[in-house]
Chain A
């Protein structure tokens, strides 16, 4: 079974803090993704990575950065957390070998910025 794990289920941070969210997958997947999930807005892509050290911006990258130093690990960084970044963050991975393109998701991190 593919396993995608995220470092924390719940996180509370103060405005201005630097926040690290980590994601690890154990299926040797090339592609990894960070999404933000908000009620009524669905999943919005923040960043994705298709290989080690490779990254591309998604639809809402402002205020975020990412790091992928190893294939299995993809980190999301909030450089200076703000209250509007309070949200559920989902990590996902998928094989880069083509179809069927299924994404596997982590359990999510619910981040609250106060």
Chain B
């Protein structure tokens, strides 16, 4: 069975600095999707970035980028130039493509941004 592990329950970053959130996963599938979701306090969870496993190039969305290492089954999220609005819970998620509807989520990392 697939698993997703986020080993950092909480992280802090100074405003304008860079922070990296870690995520590792376990799967026997070769084709799958990985996601980072952001859940601000008392607000809706939204997608930050996605990565298709068959793409070697790391996904980037403005200040957010990933370091996807398929062989190591690692999918970290880098936030550059951190802003106060980045403070949130961040969830890493996995979805296989072989006939399953299920998404597997990690336990989340709470990011604090210090002014």
Say whether, besides A99-B33, A101-B95, A105-B46, A56 and B107 are in contact (CB < 8 Å). Answer: no
Within the complex, the shortest CB–CB distance from A4 to chain B, in Å, comes to 8
Within the complex, the shortest CB–CB distance from B112 to chain A, in Å, comes to 15
Query: A48–B100 Cα gap in the complex (Å)?
Result: 11
Interface residues of A in 46-60 (CB under 8 A from B): 48, 50, 56, 58
**B50 pairs with A58, CB closer than 8 A:** no
**B101 pairs with A50, CB closer than 8 A:** yes
Of A45, A99, A102, A106, the contact of B44 (CB 8 Å cutoff): A106
Tell me, yes or no, whether B105 is within 8 Å of chain A by CB. Answer: yes
Question: Which of A41, A42, A90 has the most C-beta atoms of chain B within 10 angstroms of its own C-beta?
Answer: A42
**A42 pairs with B91, CB closer than 8 A:** yes
**Contact residue range for chain B?**
20 to 34
Query: A40–B7 Cα gap in the complex (Å)?
Result: 11
- Per-residue CB contact flags for chain B residues 81-110 toward chain A (1 = under 8 Å, else 0) read 000000000010101010001110111100
Q: Provide the residues of chain B in CB contact with A45, threshold 8 Å.
A: 102-103
Say whether, besides A42-B91, A42-B108, A43-B91, A102 and B50 are in contact (CB < 8 Å). Answer: yes
**Contact residue range for chain A?**
20 to 34
Query: A107–B103 Cα gap in the complex (Å)?
Result: 18
**A42 pairs with B106, CB closer than 8 A:** yes
Query: A108–B46 Cα gap in the complex (Å)?
Result: 12
Query: A42–B90 Cα gap in the complex (Å)?
Result: 10
Q: Provide the residues of chain B in CB contact with A41, threshold 8 Å.
A: 107
**B101 pairs with A48, CB closer than 8 A:** yes
Q: A residues near B, CB below 8 A?
A: 31, 33, 35, 40-45, 48, 50, 56, 58, 90, 99-103, 105-108
Q: B residues near A, CB below 8 A?
A: 6, 9, 33, 35, 37, 43-47, 50, 52, 91, 93, 95, 97, 101-103, 105-108
| Listed A/B pairs (9) with beta-carbon separation below 8 Å | A33-B103, A41-B107, A42-B107, A44-B105, A58-B102, A99-B33, A101-B95, A107-B43, A107-B44
